[in-house]
Structure 1
Amino acid sequence: MISALVRMLPPGSAAWLLAAEVRLGLRGMAGKRGVSGSKIALVIISLFAVAGVVFGGVALGFLAARWPLPITPLSALIVDAACVVLFTLMLSQAINLAVQALYERGDLDLLLSSPLRPRVVLTVRALSITVVASILYVLLVTPFVITASVLGRPEWLSLFVILISLSMVATAVGILMTMGLFALIGPRKTRVVAQVIAALVGGLMFILSQAYNFTRHEDGHGSSGVSDLALSLTGSPLLAPNGPLAWPVRALTASPMPLAVIGGIGLILFVLVVRGLGPRFAKDAAAAVGEKSTPARTKGADGAFADGLTRAMVRKELRLLARDPQLISQILLRIVYLIPLGVILFKNAHAGTTPIFLSSAIVFMAGQLAGSFAWIAISAEDSPDLLRSAPIDRALADRAKLIAALIPTFALTGVAVAGYAVMSPLQAIVVVIGCVCAAASSGLIQIWRQKPATRKAFNQRQRGGSWLVNIVELVVQACWGAATALALSVFGLLWAPIPAAVALLATLALYRSPEKRWES
């Protein structure tokens, strides 16, 4: 539909450029095109998800039509918390989109040489970030809002205004942060730091969502610290119906003044950032384009092969891993998402099954990390053709890539294993063995089946290879986790070799010789 809109609009106009930018942003969220088994499965799952959202939204719309939204301190607190969560998620996405749209797409030199002014280019890109950051939430609430409005509650249409305003504020803050980082630390480090900040912001919301589980009593009785805090906050005059923190819930009821203020804040902040940063944006864009054409200075390049080819290749692969901001953000997100699980399990460490469950989670995480690192090492070569034609032993090159993938994997999982050793020192030895097996299997699967590609193709962040291979990799990781858990249980020790054998056989079944892989 957006492609048809692009064809209808006058080429080169601001509206045409905005539609094209939104299409690029949505395409980046959806991934690359192509029909495959995994794509078909994803479409089927998406259809079921859309059906669930539609039916759920319609059902909630009927309920909202029957019972109006009350303006109470509790409802004000809930709406305020929801706005904070949504804004944080939008900000995380806006930072990523701002880095990509402003400095990574590689077309700013072409746009800035066009008749469009830099301020118009920045405005269009900022609007596209706003649309892409908010479109998911707008689509999720649309069935509910339409149903409630048709059934006599048109005030729920103000929810669209609130979402768009939150997205505008998130876009403005994201652009400010991105351009501020650019001015302070330069374009190279900005990409890394911005990706890390976005990951931490998104992960922080996930941790806060688990605050109830952190603060509840271990026996399950009584109230948690979060519920006690919420009850104490409802007595604050700020959440009273006429208080300032009640304006969001009043805006949801289409109260004119709160709705106008909330919508105006987003619009004014967005306009101020876009108009104020227009000239700065043109300078930063030119600097980013010039920086891309200038190779980074290398330190200590002389004598790189003095310690041997393997060490030199391992160092090269580790540098390659360290300079990938999206990989760093993804790894940080995985670690952040495991923090609530670790806290809950450590709180219940006295339970008999908790150490066993935690051991399988650590082993599975080791496999996931090794697979990701090996994928980067294989798929992000700057010159895969040069490496393919180099007079080196193929097995040696593969071994160097595997070692480079395992070093950060063991460094990260070592922290989790050290925490596990505090609970069960002897069982931690079994966990270490499971981590080594899972990491080695995942790394070998990626090396045997992943095809080297140029860094431009790698930046699409899509794993190549068969979707069946990716599923087998997940099964192998799960089998090693199950084998570790069974080895730690009293009655499962005799059954532990079964999932271990399945994982080992599945890994070996995917083996391809170096000659066959490098020729394909």
Structure 2
Amino acid sequence: MSALLRQTRLILRNDLRLLWRELRTGKLKIATSATLLALALLVLHAISILLFTHLQQTPPLGLEAGLWAFFGFLMLGASMNQAIGLFFERADFDLLLSSPVSTRAILLARIAVMSTGAFIGASLLLLPLLNGVIIGFSPMYLFGYVTWISLSIIAACAGVWLTLALVRLLGTRRARVWIQILAAFLGASVYLTFQIQNYFPRADKIAFWSALRTTADWLGFSHLARSGRGEPSELLILASVTALIAFLTARQLAKTFLTGLQESGVKPSRAPRTGGKTYRFSQGLARATFFKDLRLIVRDPLLLSQTLPSLMYILPAFLAFRQFGGTVILAPVAVVIAVQFSTLLADVAATGEDCLDLIRMSPSPETRLRLAKMAAGMALPLAASLILCLVIAAFGRPWLALLAFITGAVTASGCAWLSVARISPTPRKDLLNRNRRRTSITRNILVGILLIGASGGISLVAHGTLWFIGILLLGATALGVIACFTFVHIEEIADEKPLPSWHYPNATPS
């Protein structure tokens, strides 16, 4: 075995071990319960095998091309997230480049790790489908595994190129933000693509799928579908393209990092401002707190990547109900957006791990600072709700738009107050991890009741049927919000319990 292969194997084994730990402890925790994962794979395999066994003909080439495109987008998003961590955030890259290990071995190992991560990310859905067509139709689909491996390598290389381009344009920190947003947007766009077409007329639906097939064929995914079927010429072309892309990617990475581009990871993404607006405490500490928390929310990649796509997921629900209520269905949607995201973002603004210490050390009244954090969490959701209400007003229902915005703002204020009244210091990376956050079941129940009452009441008023019940629900919701501000007071979070006296050898008994 050559020295290059030995060194590549050594680096790859270590990186794969780190990848496995990330899969076990990450957000998805896909390897935490082996029994549950095996059961899910077994059920999916059974469904896939039964489905393809009873089909009389093979799937159309366009459908297979669309599926390969779907999994390709999933792999690309996962690869971009991995690239920014492997090449710019992991602390061992400087040590590896300065070690006697070959640079080619390091870069080949990193590309292999990214390809493995992309391969594993699509395995839960792609593995049952592939095995189903192998058993149900033809053993020639075994070459789908070769196509799968090649597609994961191409997706990893594409993720590297896009990451390097974003880093050059934006800097490492800002590139990390936009990479996570782009990955989330790709996943949401695939979801929307398959959901929105369900609400088209039959003729438009046929044209929609025809356009998708044309696009997939233009992007080359039809060649992937043919190689997945085992056509020798397509397999040869795919292997050649994969090898060429991997070679060019490794060469570009070597050129990039050996010329010192990695130093951009410690450089500021933009030059500091020498002039312009200055911030003074004479403007008000509460105002400064509001704008500070608002900037942190806007710049936080975790929040942007997990909350912004949620707005896109509401669109299919709007299209589904539009045929029953028209544009007025935007009224309850505006209320839901205001309440749901205000509660989440106010919780994020208040529960940062250093938030409680800063509040206690501040000379400003504690209630004022908590209200400023609550307002920062409500600002963006209320802005999105206002846009929907303006659309309702433009379609001839201004009073409904005004009622919906007031209802959303009032209900959101009550729910946001529940979030800031009790602060549980939490690391910022774990703020959206429900398994690690110390949330109150009672608070979640109250938020759910207020959300149902507000959205249900505005729905009944918007449709005009049983409007008096809607008015009663809105009145009850308003009383619930008043009760939140009246009976839910600021609660001090106790510090960690002191150690017992035997931990202190010089302590004297009281």
TM-score (ref. length: structure 1): 0.78
- CA separation in 2, counterparts of 1:150 and 1:319? 54
Q: Which residue of 1 aligns with 2:234?
A: 258
Report the CA distance shift for 1:312/1:59 in structure 2 as closer, same or farther (over 3 A). closer
1:457-497 per-residue CA deviation (whole Å, 9 max, x = no partner) reads 65979761237367434454333222322343431433554
Shift of 1:130: 2.4
1:333 paired residue number: 309
Query: Mean Cα displacement is larger for which, 459-468 or 256-265?
Result: 459-468
Residues 150 and 487 of structure 1: is their aligned pair in 2 closer, same or farther, counting only changes over 3 Å? closer
Tell me what 1:272 maps to. Answer: 248
Inter-CA distance 155–11: structure 2 relative to 1 (3 Å threshold):
closer
In structure 1, the partner of 2:414 is 441
Q: Classify 1:25/1:115 alpha carbon distance in 2 versus 1 (closer, same or farther; 3 Å).
A: farther
Match 1:54 to one of 23, 27, 42: 42
Pick one of 224, 246, 250 that aligns with 2:203. 224
Question: Where do residues 364-443 of structure 1 align in structure 2 (5 Å cutoff)?
Answer: 364-380=336-352, 384-423=356-395, 424-443=397-416
Instruction: Check 1:450–1:263 CA distance in 2 against 1; reply closer, same or farther (3 A cut).
Output: farther
Structure 2 residue 183 is the aligned partner of structure 1 residue 198 = yes
Alpha carbons of structure 1 residues 229 and 356: separation in structure 2 relative to 1, 3 Å: closer
Instruction: Evaluate the alpha carbon distance shift between residue 147 and residue 313 of structure 1 in structure 2; reply closer, same or farther with a 3 A threshold.
Output: closer
Secondary structure, aligned partner of 1:20: helix
Change (3 A) 1:68 1:454: same
CA–CA distance in structure 1, aligned partners of residues 8 and 170 of structure 2 = 37
Which of 443, 458, 472 matches 1:484?
458
Moved more, 313-322 or 470-479: 470-479
Given the superposition, is the C-alpha separation of residues 178 and 101 from structure 1 closer, same or farther in structure 2, using an over 3 Å criterion? same
Q: Counterpart of 2:20?
A: 23
Q: Is the CA contact 1:62–1:148 (under 8 Å) kept in the aligned structure 2?
A: no
Q: 2:172 is aligned with what amino acid?
A: P
Identity of aligned residues (%): 23
The structural deviation recorded for 1:206 is 2.6
Distance, in Å, in 2 between the alignment partners of 1:83 and 1:150 is 19
The DSSP-based 3-state class of the residue aligned with 2:424 is coil
Q: Secondary structure at the match of 1:391?
A: coil
Which ranges in structure 2 are unaligned for 5 or more consecutive residues? 1-5, 497-510
Q: Give the corresponding residue for 1:6.
A: none
Contact 1:32/1:460 (CA < 8 Å) preserved in 2?
no
Supply the AA of the counterpart residue of 2:453.
C
Letter in 2 for 1:491: L
Asked if residue 132 in structure 1 is aligned to residue 128 in structure 2, the reply is: no
Tell me the amino acid that sits aligned with residue 417 of structure 1. C
Q: CA deviation at 1:432?
A: 0.8
Structure 1 residue identity aligned to 2:45: G
Equivalent residue, structure 2, for 1:36: none
Going from structure 1 to structure 2, the CA distance change for 1:274 and 1:299 (only over 3 Å counts) comes to farther
Post-superposition Cα deviations, 1:422-466, rounded to whole Å, max 9, x if no partner, equal: 332221122112211332133223213442345466597976123
- Looking at structure 2, the residues matched to 176 and 485 of structure 1 have their Cα atoms a distance apart, in angstroms, of 48
* Aligned equivalent of 2:263: 286
Distance 1:431 1:325, change over 3 A: same
The answer as to whether partners of 1:57 and 1:141 remain within 8 angstroms in 2 is no
* 1:303-336 Cα distance to aligned partner (Å, 9 max, x none): 4212111111112112212221232233331233
Question: Aligned-pair RMSD on alpha carbons?
Answer: 4.1
Q: 1:260-280 CA distances to partner (integer Å, 9 max, x unpaired)? A: 433443343234213321241
Check 1:516–1:160 CA distance in 2 against 1; reply closer, same or farther (3 A cut). same
Describe the superposition over 1:192-249 as per-residue Cα deviations: whole angstroms up to 9, x where unpaired.
3323322333332233223423531xxxxxx231314546998x9x98xxxx875333
Assess, with a 3 A threshold, how the Cα gap between structure 1 residues 141 and 191 changes in structure 2: closer, same or farther: closer
Q: What is the rounded CA distance, in whole Å, between the counterparts of 1:449 and 1:118 in structure 2? A: 52
Pairs within 5 Å for 1:10-409: 13-27=10-24, 29-30=26-27, 47=36, 51=39, 53-65=41-53, 70=58, 75-109=60-94, 111-112=96-97, 116-146=101-131, 149=134, 153-216=138-201, 223-228=202-207, 230=209, 246-281=222-257, 283-289=260-266, 291=268, 302-342=278-318, 348=323, 351=324, 353-355=325-327, 357-380=329-352, 384-409=356-381
**Count of aligned pairs between the two proteins:** 482
Tell me, what secondary structure is at the counterpart of 1:210?
Answer: helix
